[in-house]
C-alpha cells in the first residue's frame, strides 16, 4: 500500500488510510464523521461525489482544516513564510498552542514524528521533502465541510447521515483531547442504524459492543505496519 496517495493534509496518529479498502465499502450516501482527525476516509468518500461533514474537538486541527479549505494557496504562502523552519521556530509555535493559525498548526503537525505533537520535538525534514508536500497542499480542494464540536452534540445533530466513527482508543493518549465517555458513545450509536465504528481492540470495547457485528483486522490487513508490533483493529457495525 502506498501512503503517497493519502489525500489527508495532516499526519494524524490513528489515521485510517491504510484500512480504506475495508472501511469505504461499508459507507453509504451522506456521511457524518464525529472524530475527523486527518480525515483520509472522509476525503475519499467526498471524492466519490458524496456529501461529507466532519467534526473534531481539537480547535487547532479544525482551524487548520477550515483555513486550508477556504484558501489553499494563501495557506501555503503562510507556511512558506516560515521556511527554513528551525527547531526553535517549531518550539515557539508549539508553545503558543492552541493560539496559533491554521498554517502554523500544519507546521507543528507535519514537523513532528507521526503527528504526535510535542512528543519528538520535530523532525529535521525540509528541502525537497517539504517542497513536494507544499506543492501538493497548494492544490488541495475538497467538498468536505468541517466544524468544531464534541461527539455528544454532533452525532444527534445529524440523525439521517451515515456515521463513520473513529474515536480515540481506550487507554491511549495520542491526542490533545483523548479522553471520551466510551459508554455514552455506545448509547448514542445504539439508537441508530447506519454506522461503522473503528477501534483498537480492547476488552471494554468488546463488552460495550457485544451483540454487534465485530470484524477483527490484524497486521496482515494493513501491510504498511509490517515490522511494528502486531495490533488488532476492530470494525464494528450494528
Ligand X SMILES: C[S@@+](CC[C@H](N)C(=O)[O-])C[C@H]1O[C@@H](n2cnc3c(N)ncnc32)[C@H](O)[C@@H]1O
Does 103 engage in binding with ligand X (CB under 6 A)? no
State CA 91 to chain mean position distance.
23
| Burial class for 213, CB neighbours closer than 10 Å (0-12, 13-18, 19+) | exposed
Does 102 engage in binding with ligand X (CB under 6 A)? no
How far is 135 from 210, CA to CA, in rounded Å? 46
Find the shortest distance in angstroms from Cβ 215 to ligand X: 17
| Among positions 6, 23, 32, 35, the unique one binding ligand X when judged by CB under 6 A | 35
Site for ligand X in 111-170 (CB under 6 A): 150-151, 166-168
| Among positions 175, 195, 209, 222, the unique one binding ligand X when judged by CB under 6 A | 175
| Among positions 31, 53, 57, 205, the unique one binding ligand X when judged by CB under 6 A | 57
Among residues 72, 176, 40, the alpha carbon closest in space to that of 117 is found at 176
Between 34 and 194, CB nearer to ligand X: 34
Distance from the first to the final alpha carbon of the chain: 29
How far is 135 from 37, CA to CA, in rounded Å? 22
Interacting residue ranges for ligand X, rule: CB under 6 A: 12, 14-16, 34-35, 37-40, 56-58, 150-151, 166-168, 175, 177-178, 180
Amino acid at each position: 500500500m502506498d501512503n503517497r496517495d493519502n489525500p489527508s493534509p495532516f499526519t494524524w496518529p490513528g489515521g485510517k488510510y491504510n484500512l480504506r479498502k475495508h472501511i469505504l465499502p461499508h459507507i453509504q450516501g451522506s456521511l457524518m464523521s464525529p472524530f475527523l482527525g486527518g480525515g483520509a476516509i472522509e476525503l475519499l468518500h467526498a471524492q466519490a461525489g458524496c456529501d461529507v461533514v466532519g467534526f473534531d474537538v481539537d480547535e487547532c486541527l479544525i482551524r487548520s482544516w477550515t483555513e486550508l479549505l477556504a484558501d489553499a494557496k494563501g495557506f501555503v504562502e503562510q507556511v512558506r513564510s516560515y521556511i527554513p523552519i528551525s527547531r526553535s521556530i517549531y518550539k515557539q509555535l508549539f508553545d503558543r498552542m492552541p493560539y496559533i493559525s491554521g498554517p502554523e498548526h500544519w507546521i507543528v503537525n507535519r514537523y513532528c514524528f507521526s503527528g504526535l505533537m510535542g512528543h519528538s520535538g520535530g523532525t529535521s525534514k525540509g528541502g525537497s521533502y517539504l517542497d513536494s508536500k507544499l506543492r501538493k497542499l497548494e492544490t488541495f480542494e475538497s467538498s468536505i465541510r468541517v466544524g468544531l464540536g464534541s461527539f455528544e452534540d454532533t452525532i444527534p445533530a445529524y440523525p439521517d447521515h451515515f456515521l463513520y466513527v473513529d474515536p480515540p482508543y481506550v487507554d491511549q493518549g495520542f491526542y490533545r483531547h483523548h479522553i471520551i465517555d466510551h459508554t455514552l458513545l455506545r448509547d448514542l450509536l445504539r439508537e441508530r442504524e447506519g454506522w461503522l465504528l473503528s477501534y483498537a481492540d480492547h476488552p471494554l470495547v468488546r463488552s460495550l459492543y457485544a451483540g454487534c457485528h465485530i470484524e477483527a483486522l490484524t497486521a496482515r490487513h494493513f501491510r504498511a505496519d509490517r515490522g511494528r508490533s502486531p495490533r488488532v483493529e476492530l470494525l464494528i457495525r450494528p
